[in-house]
């Protein structure tokens, strides 16, 4: 390496290492030479290498672990496309979404929501509680709703005082990360995983390890190898109809991971995503939390995904060890979630309307699910591979390796043809690993447009 003249040496060293990381000649997570070793190799003093490593850390190319050393960190090259994708959708949604076949929806459609029933519930709450329903705030959430969640969803196995009302799953992940993660703590996520969770962990400057997700959940052997070599603080998982893969964990894999959590002293952040929508009778519902005997699970549930998104209500059940920290983190974030909507949701659940609504959604969406699967098989045969999720609101497709097109190109070309999809690159630390994948959802699309949209995708994906 030529250090040249007239330039600050540490900047030249830092630039050279950056180039090696960008070219993957130094792998993401690979340990860099010790300060003394590199100083001797390059015939410079130790301070020069210290400054080079600090500069790498400031630019996001390295992470220092106390007592362990400095490790290379691949920069997030996904950001530019993430911004482009976000801007494109915002422009479309604000102007002319009606002109598009929207396969990007990630929550239940308001079309099926019985608004008159909910309006009656709101009026009943206002008649019963008066101005208190609008003014009175409980930092941990409305006690009545917490009791309903305990009684009806958990059959009393979780105490109401252990339940924290939040404004959806995204806030739950953020609240938990602020409460239990320190800068550069190590976390494990599924590969691929929910982009919102990746954003939260990156904002905490966490050291993120990815584990491939397979038919019934992550590869447990690979998880244990990471646990043996690293001090992992938590594992983030979506236990049912994972976003984006659509995979659900079986009970055996859940129990294996719970055993590992106890052995290696880490916590499981369970994002219980769309588990109400199970269409395959072979899939049985048992959350990580319901199987947890050692208080290792931080359970997050959003009502917004399946209920009205504008209500923005969910709940979180923390382990006793972190309960106070997580509660304080939530209070410091926004103090309280809408009291009126919490009271209305409580009454809606108590009256049995929630169960009736979910039963109706299962009937409606099972039909849509089966129709989209039929269209994928018919029109995309020989062009994509996929695993049947058996529930939820979307399919995750992989463009076959013999086809040159990638999902970002497909997104751009499909958009021009009036079809919106979600490219898989958004769900990986390294976007290149998702270049062959894309997600299509059916919650905001009629049968006619499901067929039409998939036919258009078939026209664009040429062998």
- CA–CA dist 187, 236 (Å, integer): 8
Q: What is the pLDDT of residue 272?
A: 96
The strand pair at 437-441 and 186-191 is best described as unpaired
Calpha distance 85→422 (Å, rounded)? 9
Residue 397 neighbours by CB under 8 Å, 6+ apart: 376, 380, 384, 385, 386, 437, 438, 439, 440
What fold, for 115-353?
3.40.640
Domain residue spans in the chain?
9-72, 79-105+356-460, 115-353
Please check the confidence at residue 1 and state whether its pLDDT lies above 70: no
Ranges 129-133, 148-152, 273-277, 344-348: which has the least confidence: 129-133
Residue bearing the bigger pLDDT, 308 or 248? 248
Distance CA 17, CA 23 (A): 10
CA dist 86 to 75, 131, 278, 401, Å?
Answer: 20, 39, 30, 27
| Least confident piece of the model among 54-58, 120-124, 299-303, 417-421 | 54-58
pLDDT mean over 117-122: 92
**The predicted structure's pLDDT at residue 84:** 67
Both tokens of 36, joined, read 């003394």
* CA 92 – CA 98 distance, rounded (Å): 9
- Helix-then-strand count for the chain, H and E: 17, 16
- Copy the structure tokens of residue 281: 């009778």
Give the number of other Cβ atoms within 10 Å of residue 161's Cβ: 12
Q: What is the mean pLDDT of residues 107-112?
A: 78
DSSP codes of every residue in 246-312: -----HHHHHHHHHHHHHHT-EEEEE--STT-B--TT-----HHHH-SSS-EEEEEESTTTS-GGG-
Q: Assign a CATH topology to domain 79-105+356-460.
A: 3.90.1150
Cβ 53 vs Cβ 73: under 8 Å: no
The arithmetic mean of pLDDT across residues 416-438, rounded, is: 91
3-class DSSP state of 207: strand
| Average pLDDT of span 175-199 | 94
Supply the pLDDT for residue 174.
Answer: 95
Containing H/E element for 423? strand 422-423
Span 158-179, mean pLDDT?
A: 94
Report if pTM > 0.85: no
Pick the CATH number of 9-72 from 1.10.150.240, 3.40.50.620, 1.10.10.10, 3.40.50.300: 1.10.10.10
Tell me the average pLDDT across 215-227: 95
Q: Which two tokens stand for residue 446?
A: 């009629």
pLDDT of residue 114: 81
Over residues 113-131, the mean pLDDT reads 91
* 307 phi, psi to nearest 5 deg: -105, -160
CA dihedral 101, 103, 107, 113 (to 10 degrees): 30
> Closest Cα partner for 315 from 265, 291, 349?
349
Chain centre distance of CA 116: 33
Q: What is the dihedral of CA 350, 354, 355, 357, to 10 degrees?
A: 150
């Amino acid at each position: 390496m030529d250090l040249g003249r007239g330039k600050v040496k540490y900047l030249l060293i830092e630039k050279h290492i950056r180039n090696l990381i960008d070219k993957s000649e130094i792998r993401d997570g690979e340990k860099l030479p010790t300060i003394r070793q590199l100083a001797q190799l390059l015939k410079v003093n130790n301070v020069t290498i210290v400054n080079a490593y600090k500069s790498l850390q400031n630019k996001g190319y390295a992470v220092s672990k106390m007592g362990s050393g400095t490790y290379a960190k691949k920069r997030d090259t996904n950001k530019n496309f993430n911004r482009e994708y976000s801007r494109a959708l915002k422009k479309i949604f604000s102007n002319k979404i009606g002109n598009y076949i929207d396969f990007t929806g990630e929550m239940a459609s308001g079309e099926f929501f019985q608004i008159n029933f909910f309006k009656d519930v709101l009026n009943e709450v206002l008649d019963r509680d008066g101005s208190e329903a609008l003014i009175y705030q409980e930092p941990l959430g409305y006690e009545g709703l917490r009791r309903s969640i305990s009684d009806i969803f958990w059959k009393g196995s979780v105490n109401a005082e252990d339940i924290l009302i939040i404004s959806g799953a995204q806030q739950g992940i953020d609240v938990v990360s602020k409460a239990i993660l320190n800068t550069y703590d190590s976390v494990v996520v599924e590969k691929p995983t929910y982009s919102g969770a990746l954003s939260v962990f990156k904002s905490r400057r966490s050291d993120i390890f990815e584990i491939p997700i397979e038919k019934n959940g992550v590869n447990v052997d690979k998880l244990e190898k990471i646990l043996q070599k690293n001090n992992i603080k938590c594992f983030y998982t979506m236990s049912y109809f994972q976003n984006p893969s659509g995979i659900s964990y079986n009970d055996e894999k859940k129990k294996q991971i719970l055993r590992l959590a106890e052995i290696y002293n880490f916590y499981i952040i369970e994002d219980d995503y769309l588990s109400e929508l199970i269409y395959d009778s072979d899939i049985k519902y048992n959350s990580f939390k319901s199987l947890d005997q050692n208080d290792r699970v931080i359970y997050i549930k959003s009502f917004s995904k399946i209920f009205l998104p504008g209500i923005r209500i969910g709940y979180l059940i923390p382990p006793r060890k972190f309960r106070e920290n997580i509660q304080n983190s939530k209070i410091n974030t926004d103090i309280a979630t809408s009291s009126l909507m919490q009271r209305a949701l409580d009454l809606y659940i108590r009256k049995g309307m929630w169960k009736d609504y979910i039963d109706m959604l299962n009937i409606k969406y099972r039909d849509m699910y089966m129709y989209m699967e039929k269209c994928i098989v018919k029109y995309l045969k020989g062009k994509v591979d996929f695993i049947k999720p058996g529930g939820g609101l979307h399919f995750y497709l992989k463009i076959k390796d013999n086809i040159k097109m990638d999902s970002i190109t497909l997104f751009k070309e499909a958009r021009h043809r009036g079809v919106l999809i979600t490219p898989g690159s958004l769900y990986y630390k390294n976007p290149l690993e998702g270049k062959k994948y894309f997600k299509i959802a059916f919650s905001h699309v009629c049968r006619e447009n499901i067929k039409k949209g998939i036919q258009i995708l078939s026209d664009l994906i040429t062998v």
